[in-house]
Amino acid sequence: MSAIIVWIARWIVVEDGVKFIIGLHDEFKKYNPFNANVGKLFANGRFLRKTSSYEHVPIFWFENYFTQEGVHNLACAGCEITLYLTVLYYGFILLLVQYMKDRPPYSLKTALFLWNLGLAIFSVFGAWRIGQEFFARLSTEGFTQTVCLLPNEFTPTTFWMIAFALSKIVEFGDTIFVVLRKRPLIFLHYYHHAAALIYAFHSGAHVSATGVVFALMNYAVHVLMYSYYAISALGIRLPKPLAMTITTLQTVQMFAAVGITIYAYYLKAFTDTFCQVYFSNLHLAFFIYVTFAALFLRFFYGTYVEKKKVKQQ
């Protein structure tokens, strides 16, 4: 492994690796499928498409910091970067796994508790601020408009959406804890982290209203998940049905996202209903959430059904 790393480093620095990488980057920028080609969406800082009329008053000063145009521009700039971050993430984790191969696991009890506690608290605020507006709109505007229209320009949801996208980068740290503690690193874990990051920025760049619903569901599930991890990090053994419930909610979240994606596609393709989401984003959402649903089902079966059968035998 070390010989391969040395060879790659030598090729990049000494030979034509730099020119090759620059050329590959230039070609990628030409044909990058994640670039947002959405036409003119903003004028004088205002969103030109139809939005919700509901006004959700900001509570915190920082909730006024981002506009929808600012989120769109940041996500457009970040779309390409997320792909590079994903490659770096996989490369770093691969090297870290090799580094830990012949070393004892780290405990990291306090650090793990604080990490999960921080993400749990962050998720509480995200779920609260987006959820408050979402359910108010749901009761006044109905399901279709709540799913298909972006929130009003000056609502807290705008801030918590970009915070959600950026948090997907932070959550790469989950994998570092898994590897350093030498816990099983499964495909679902590192695929989910990378795909969630890419989709979050893609949705922001394409100004997708459906992404707000997906973010709310994710925030809500993460409140329970990271709280569970934080308590477990203290050495407190929680009832197994609680872990099963969290996995069930994660799986339901994925199927709900698939259903909403299909519904939005139907509205755009077969009705005159306005829905602020692009087909390219719907295609990506469908692929990602179908694979998520399948992987979570497989994880649930392997963890709670198959193991139970083995114990009974």
Give catalytic residue positions.
192
**Residues in contact with 258: Cβ distance below 8 Å, sequence separation at least 6, in sequence order:** 286, 289, 290, 293
Angle at which helices 187-205 and 173-180 pack, to 10 degrees?
A: 170
Task: Please give the structure tokens belonging to residue 308.
Answer: 């139970």
**Could you tell me which of 31, 42, 40, 38 has the C-alpha nearest to residue 80?**
31
Per DSSP, helices labelled H in 240-278 are 240-270
* Residues shown for the chain: 313
| Cα R_g (the chain), whole angstroms | 21
Residue with tokens 């602020």: 276
Q: Three-state SS for 58?
A: coil
Strands 46-47 and 42-43, bridge-based pairing:
antiparallel
**Could you tell me which of 250, 259, 244 has the C-alpha nearest to residue 188?**
250
Name residue 51's beta-bridge partners.
150
Extended beta strands in the chain, E state: 42-43, 46-47
User: Across the chain, which distance is largest between two alpha carbons, in Å?
Assistant: 69
Q: Provide the 8-state DSSP code for 43.
A: E
Task: Please give the structure tokens belonging to residue 3.
Answer: 């010989």
Q: Provide the 8-state DSSP code for 150.
A: B
Q: How many angstroms separate the CA atoms of 146 and 22, rounded?
A: 43
